[in-house]
Chain A
């Protein structure tokens, strides 16, 4: 089980706000720390992995429960 350092709540937000907030929040945590992002926009299922790949951040886990998507991301750089 990865230890979560920060949680970003994007529930209720629609595209592009989850990515805009993720991009802004990741800069505020230390390299190596882990961010948990919660969202309800079905678009995030594709957008978050793509953003992680482009930005070189590590997507550790993706899960979905009761319509809430959870992404665990480690800041790599």
Chain B
């Protein structure tokens, strides 16, 4: 009996005793993303929170009824990310309602609002415009990512300025409720089971896709919290502490996704346009800059805010609220906002295999080989830069 108890404790400690390595999370998340793509389409997030917000905003602006949350696969995915993260944080006894000083709540809300605007302008978030977008071989994703890097750098400078000159903004009264407690792991199991019960909301003969997204949402939320998977961190740390492990984890995840997505698109007849959004060039760039700024100020991108909201970080509740408001409102105004630019500068798409294929008489095999090698080369260059920076601290502002 005691031996069984010892084995159980060993398994519990391995899963919940300390955070998983972020690269382990990245491999699992990319695998889940490939599963989602097999079901219908890769891992995304901003579309889900957009659908949540549309439930409130669209009727307010007489825009008709949006698609039901229970019919929108990304809306369900995002709900279950919250549930999965909540369950995982409880199981690890890491859940607590953490209310930060008021300045931090303001930053959460403002960051969320800016992110929401950026996501709509650039038709992407850290997933569609980066983590899923690069493997989808979209040129627009590279433009959006470049914009995000600019936004992240500016926001890091702001955060450091604020801490130096106005430390009181992030100081003051904070409150923490429900932390610790041996009740948490049991509650975590209950929440996970409730998450699984969501699957029974759907009729498998008519709603198998939404059911699949609901299931993988639960797993994704769980893995995000355990591995503290954070794309903001991957882009931010080289400019802050110079530390590179998060960047390397994201690189590993993108490489897994790259081979999976390319195989689906080339060998399995997947649509080339999947996750290749019409955001070239100015809209992707401006959207990326805004999104990078917002997510760094908020301390989480769309999924990063969702999983931290699930572990009880109230600042990120405000970030989700900001996106909930800004995503649907900006979506109503997008075409008017972008009218100041010529359409070909805001809505064009470009698919990397077409670019490389056209160099050799539209040969699709060469096109895909060139595109995959191009993405791998960009990742290699990124790796060299972050490792050089980790050694020398040339880009690190701390």
Contact = CB atoms under 8 A, between A and B. Distances in A.
Contacts of A32: none
Interface range, A side? 20 to 34
Contact of A20 (B18, B159, B171): B159
Interface string A37-52: 0001111011000110
A33 interface: no
A13 B170 contact: yes
Interface string A54-66: 1100000000001
A45 B94 CA distance: 11
Nearest to A15: B299
Given A19-B240, A68-B176, 11 more contacts: A9-B171, A11-B98, A14-B100, A23-B160, A40-B174, A40-B176, A40-B179, A41-B98, A41-B313, A46-B228, A50-B241
16 contacts: A12-B176, A13-B101, A15-B299, A17-B163, A17-B299, A20-B240, A23-B163, A24-B167, A41-B98, A42-B19, A43-B19, A55-B241, A66-B180, A67-B176, A68-B176, A68-B179
Nearest to B165: A24
B120 interface: no
A38 to B, nearest CB: 10
Interface range, B side? 35 or more
B226 to A, nearest CB: 11
Nearest to A14: B313
A75 to B, nearest CB: 15
Interface in B303-328: 308, 311, 313-316
Interface in B228-263: 228, 230, 233, 236, 240-243
Contact of B311 (A25, A42, A46): A42
**Looking at A25, A50, A67, which has the most chain B CB atoms within 10 Å of its CB?**
A67
A21 interface: yes
**Looking at B89, B92, B163, which has the most chain A CB atoms within 10 Å of its CB?**
B163
A19 to B, nearest CB: 7
Given A42-B311, A67-B179, A68-B176, A54 B160 contact: no
B304 to A, nearest CB: 9
Given A20-B159, A21-B170, A42-B94, A11 B176 contact: yes
Contacts of A46: 19, 228
Nearest to B314: A12
B204 to A, nearest CB: 37
Given A43-B228, A45-B19, A46-B228, A12 B179 contact: no
A13 B104 contact: yes
B336 interface: no
Contacts of A17: 100, 104, 159, 163, 170, 299
Interface in B149-206: 159-160, 163-164, 167, 170-171, 174-176, 179-180
